[in-house]
């Protein structure tokens, strides 16, 4: 489905359809039937595997039938029946498909089974239409000749039924004149499987599933070198004693492979494991011997006996970096062959190896009488290709060879070896080739296609809402989400106002934003919007004089200077507004513009080539949102959330805009700095809750989920208040609950006129809850609006429309990367013997954690997501002899209680489960007990 090629009536129809789908997702209702369309019958034809010559010539094919999709790779379950299909014949099946690790399956109904088999005990059957990674025959959907003839005779030659879900959407929701094409009959049972909402399913489940699909895709994209995992073996044309072929894959910087053969006959052959698809293939060049570096290489791929040319690459003469010679293969290639056509030191033209060697073989192998003429021709070729400066070498070579050539025949390979020995200028100029290694980024075929095996329990541990949900349910829900995103991609360019003069926004479809993570078009649109709105960088950088000594003094006691004039933030702000820098910065510069101003730190001997500028940004970040919870906040723009004083919260290190601060120009400048970070490679680290990021990105906020990152105790208290009975309400409150609230800045405000003297009655409690939620959700509304206004001065509206709040936070603040080495510095072990295996298992488990896992562990133990914070690890004291228990933590004391584990693997699995699923482990208490 290509974006941009749709007729106006199609675009409008798809927009109507997307709005309806969006509402169904939000309210957890049955999805529109058009999105879930599955044809009742599809004709399949067998496409024979050309690699199997005997099978391709066979007059019939035997297909195995299973009672359910399976077996997966390596499975041993036996087939229930066999179907025979004659050569050139077609097979009738339903349109229902299912994909797992084994391949793509198609379903046969009971009626269709009875047509092809004598079996009567199967209610349905499944055929493997396409096997992943193993080649073989494929089932390809086609229209049979008989069906086409019948349609033409009955309905006319122009009749084309709608047989895909995209066509059904367009026909159902688009306005058109004239008679509409008929819809092919749908498979009611299959459609119902897709439409129905799983028990207990909500919009949050769909968002979590979308995040899982996005993370899965990003993990595949970001995976590192897959050479050892996906490569079966390596063959080479030749090798020296020191330059073995094994060095190509040992990932060492000091080893290399070196050929030992004639020019033009150097190659490396990679035998790939079944099911691998290469996304990138690199040559790792050896800069120690420049004349041995390849200049031109060709890549061939395919079956061993049918290699086809894929790409020829000319390598930059001055480059010694890793060179990508192949990318984005769509199918599995059993063999990849890298042919080195020319080296940098070879004094030859690109076709040297192709033309010279065969000519020599033809002329030198026959009788001795032909040799002098051959050598004369050879010398002439050298003269033509090498130029005048090497004539002496060529004459010397002829003179040395002439006596030998007059007495016996000299094959081409001996001639080349003879010249290598007697003519060093040839050997020195790249006679052989040398590579430091090869690197491959590849995937398993089944990982690139949505399939049910993606939803294995071990992969769902980071997604608590999806755990325990049936694999088939997740797979089918993922299919409809994928269809929805595909349709959204087709009209996304019409939804987003690419011109800055446009007043339109994405607001009408704001509920679709979570699915933009999966969009293939949004990234390109974002890049286009940013590039088209770039401005010319200033010719000279503003030079700012910053006194960080005064700023440090202010941090120790901010109350002494309410104006905060000595902070780095204020010094920068005032310096950029001064008369010396009267040209305002618009921060809309190209990505390559990496320094926005130049800093001179007073009494610090630093020359700012970018480092001082980045230091100033880090200082501003630390002043706005201090990383430590034990220091005063130096600036008035943000205040700590209530959760920072709540030991049971997992979001204890966050800040919200100060509702009492009315300095909106500075809030706007903060927004500009955020926009500048988004457009550049710099970061402004602001520890803001989801509630703020969603409002900056233009997304809807929810009380129960988003405000819980600000004040989780208040969220739970209102939940209890709503469900309490009259007697309990009177007992707990009496006449003490009034229409007032305490905001994040600790100010008490009235919810209604005279609210401090108005008692909340039991029958009015729901209205009170509504007023509290509204007041707290909007307490920083003006400050966030000012920040967003500044952001929009730097970043076009369409960019904010296309970015989800998670993407916005990551682009502004960067990825809060945590390494094991950094975390280890803040961990202290108490009451353990020095050689305790529990410590060894624990550290080994942490070594296998991703950065996100480590961040979750930090939250699990401390309630904070960023370092520094001190963690103390104690032995589990309650069950001393028990093995493999769930770990426990106390966030109020930042303590972790480590049980005894049978292995590091068991420790890793249980610890990972705990940090993703047990974040409320110490909050199971009644909020009224406080």
Short-list 798, 776, 916, CA closest to 856: 916
Residues 6+ apart with CB under 8 A from 488: 18, 512, 515, 516, 519
3-state DSSP: the chain helix, strand, coil percent, rounded to 5? 45, 15, 40
CA dist., res. 39 & res. 184, Å (int):
6
Helix (H, G, I), strand (E, B) or coil at 759: strand
Look at residues 154, 140, 165 and name the one whose alpha carbon lies nearest to residue 35: 165
Backbone angles phi, psi at 387, to 5 degrees: 95, 175
> Encoding tokens for residue 158?
């122009």
What distance in Å separates the CA atoms of residue 342 and residue 339, rounded to the nearest whole number?
9
Cα gap 753→400, rounded to integer Å: 111
- Residues in CB range of 150: below 8 A, 6 or more apart: none
DSSP label at residue 13:
H
Q: Which is it for strands 81-86 and 60-65: parallel, antiparallel or unpaired?
A: antiparallel
| Separation of alpha carbons 296 and 300, rounded Å | 14
* 883 secondary structure, DSSP code: B
With contact defined as beta carbons under 8 Å apart, do 850 and 723 qualify? no
Q: Which residues pair with 545 in a beta bridge?
A: 600
Q: Which residues partner with 104 through β-bridges?
A: 99, 130
Instruction: Name the 3-class secondary structure at 832.
Output: coil
- Distance in angstroms (rounded) separating the CA atoms of residues 642 and 656: 10
**Residues known to be catalytic:** 892
How far apart, in whole angstroms, are the C-alpha atoms of residue 502 and residue 882?
Answer: 66
Q: How far is residue 384's CA from residue 401's CA, in Å, rounded to a whole number?
A: 19
**628, β-bridge pairs:** none
Give the integer Cα–Cα distance in Å for 127 and 143. 19
Would you say 712 and 654 are in contact if contact means Cβ atoms under 8 Å apart? no
| CA angle, 133 then 138 then 142, to 5° | 145
Say if CB 415 and CB 379 are below 8 A apart. no
Q: How does 349-384 read in b/e, with b if 16+ C-beta sit within 10 Å?
A: eeebbeebbeebeebbeeeeeebeebbeebbebbee
Instruction: Report the Cα–Cα distance between both ends of the chain, in Å, rounded.
Output: 57
CA dihedral 649, 655, 658, 664 (to 10 degrees): -150
Residue 741, both tokens:
């609230």
């Amino acid at each position: 489905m290509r974006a941009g090629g749709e007729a106006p009536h199609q675009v409008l129809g798809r927009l109507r359809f997307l709005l309806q789908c969006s509402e169904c997702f939000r309210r957890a209702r049955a999805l529109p039937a058009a999105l879930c369309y599955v044809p009742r019958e599809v004709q399949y034809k067998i496409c024979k595997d050309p690699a199997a010559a005997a099978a391709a010539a066979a007059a019939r094919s035997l297909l195995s039938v299973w009672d359910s999709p399976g077996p997966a790779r390596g499975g041993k379950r036996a087939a229930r029946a066999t179907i025979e299909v004659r050569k050139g014949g077609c097979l009738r099946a339903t349109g229902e498909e299912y994909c797992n690790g084994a391949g793509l399956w198609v379903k046969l109904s009971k009626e269709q089974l009875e047509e092809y088999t004598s079996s009567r005990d199967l209610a349905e059957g499944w055929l493997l239409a396409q096997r992943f990674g193993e080649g073989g025959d494929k089932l390809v959907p086609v229209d049979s000749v008989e069906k086409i003839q019948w349609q033409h005779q009955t309905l006319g030659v122009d009749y084309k039924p709608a047989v895909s879900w995209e066509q059904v959407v367009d026909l159902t929701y688009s306005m058109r004149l004239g008679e509409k094409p008929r819809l092919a009959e749908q498979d009611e049972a299959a459609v119902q499987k897709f439409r129905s909402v799983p028990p207990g399913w909500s919009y949050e489940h769909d968002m979590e599933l979308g995040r899982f699909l996005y993370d899965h895709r990003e993990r595949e994209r970001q995976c590192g070198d897959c050479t050892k995992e996906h490569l079966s073996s390596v063959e080479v044309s030749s090798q020296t004693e020191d330059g073995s072929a094994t060095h190509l894959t040992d990932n060492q910087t000091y080893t290399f492979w070196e050929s030992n053969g004639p020019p033009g006959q150097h190659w490396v052959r990679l035998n790939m494991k079944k099911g691998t698809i290469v996304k990138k293939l690199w040559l790792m060049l050896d800069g120690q011997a420049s004349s041995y570096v390849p200049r031109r290489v060709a890549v061939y791929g395919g079956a061993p006996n049918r290699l086809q040319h894929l790409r020829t690459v000319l390598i930059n003469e001055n480059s010694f970096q890793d060179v990508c010679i192949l990318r984005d293969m769509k199918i599995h290639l059993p063999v990849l062959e890298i042919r080195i056509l020319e080296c940098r030191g070879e004094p030859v033209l690109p076709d040297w190896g192709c033309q010279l060697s065969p000519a020599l073989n033809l002329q030198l192998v026959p009788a001795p009488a032909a040799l002098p003429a051959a050598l004369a021709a050879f010398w002439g070729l050298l003269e033509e290709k090498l130029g005048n400066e090497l004539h002496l070498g060529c004459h010397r070579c002829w003179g040395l060879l002439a006596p030998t050539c007059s007495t016996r025949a000299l094959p081409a390979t001996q001639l080349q070896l003879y010249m290598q020995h007697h003519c060093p200028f040839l050997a020195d100029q790249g006679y052989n080739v040398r590579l430091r290694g090869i690197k491959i980024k590849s995937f398993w075929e089944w990982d690139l296609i949505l399939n049910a095996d993606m939803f294995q329990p071990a992969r769902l541990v980071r997604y608590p809402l999806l755990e325990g949900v049936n694999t088939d349910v997740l797979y089918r829900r993922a299919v409809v989400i994928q269809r929805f995103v595909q349709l959204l991609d087709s009209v996304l360019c019409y939804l987003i106002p690419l011109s800055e003069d446009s007043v339109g926004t994405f607001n009408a479809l704001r509920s679709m934003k979570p699915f933009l993570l999966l969009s293939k078009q949004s990234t390109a649109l974002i890049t286009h919007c940013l590039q088209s709105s770039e401005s010319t960088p200033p010719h000279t950088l503003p030079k700012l004089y910053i006194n960080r000594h005064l700023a440090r003094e202010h941090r120790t006691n901010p109350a002494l200077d309410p104006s905060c004039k000595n902070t780095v933030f204020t010094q920068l702000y005032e310096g950029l507004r001064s008369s010396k820098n009267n040209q305002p910065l618009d921060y809309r510069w190209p990505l390559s513009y990496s320094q926005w101003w130049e800093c001179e730190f007073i009494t610090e001997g630093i020359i700012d080539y970018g480092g001082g500028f980045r230091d100033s940004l880090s200082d501003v970040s630390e002043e706005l949102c201090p990383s430590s919870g034990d220091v005063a906040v130096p600036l008035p723009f943000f205040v700590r959330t209530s959760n920072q004083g709540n030991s049971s919260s997992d979001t204890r290190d966050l800040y919200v805009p100060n509702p009492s601060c009315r300095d909106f120009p500075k809030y706007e400048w903060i927004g500009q700095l955020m926009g500048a970070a988004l457009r550049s490679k710099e970061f402004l680290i602001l520890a803001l809750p989801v509630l703020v990021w969603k409002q900056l990105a233009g997304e809807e906020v929810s009380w129960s989920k988003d405000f819980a990152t600000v004040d989780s105790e208040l969220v739970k208290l209102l939940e209890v208040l709503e469900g309490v009975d009259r007697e309990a309400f009177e007992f707990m409150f009496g006449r003490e609950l009034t229409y007032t609230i305490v905001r994040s800045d600790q100010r008490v405000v009235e919810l209604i006129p005279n609210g401090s003297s108005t008692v909340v009655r039991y029958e009015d409690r729901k209205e009170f809850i509504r007023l509290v939620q509204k007041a707290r959700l909007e307490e920083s509304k003006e400050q966030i609006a000012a920040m967003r206004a500044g952001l929009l001065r730097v970043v076009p509206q369409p960019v904010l429309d296309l970015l989800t709040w998670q993407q916005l936070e990551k682009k502004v603040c960067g990825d809060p990367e945590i390494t094991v080495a950094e975390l280890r510095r803040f961990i202290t072990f108490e009451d353990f013997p020095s050689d305790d295996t529990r410590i060894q298992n624990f550290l080994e488990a942490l070594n296998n954690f991703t950065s996100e896992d480590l961040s979750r562990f930090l939250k699990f133990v401390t309630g904070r997501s960023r370092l520094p914070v001190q963690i103390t690890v104690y032995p589990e004291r309650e069950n001393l002899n028990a093995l493999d228990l769930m770990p426990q933590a106390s966030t109020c004391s930042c303590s972790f209680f480590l049980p005894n584990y049978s292995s590091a693997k068991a420790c890793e699995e249980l610890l990972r489960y705990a940090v993703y699923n047990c974040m409320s482990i110490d909050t199971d208490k009644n909020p009224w007990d406080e």
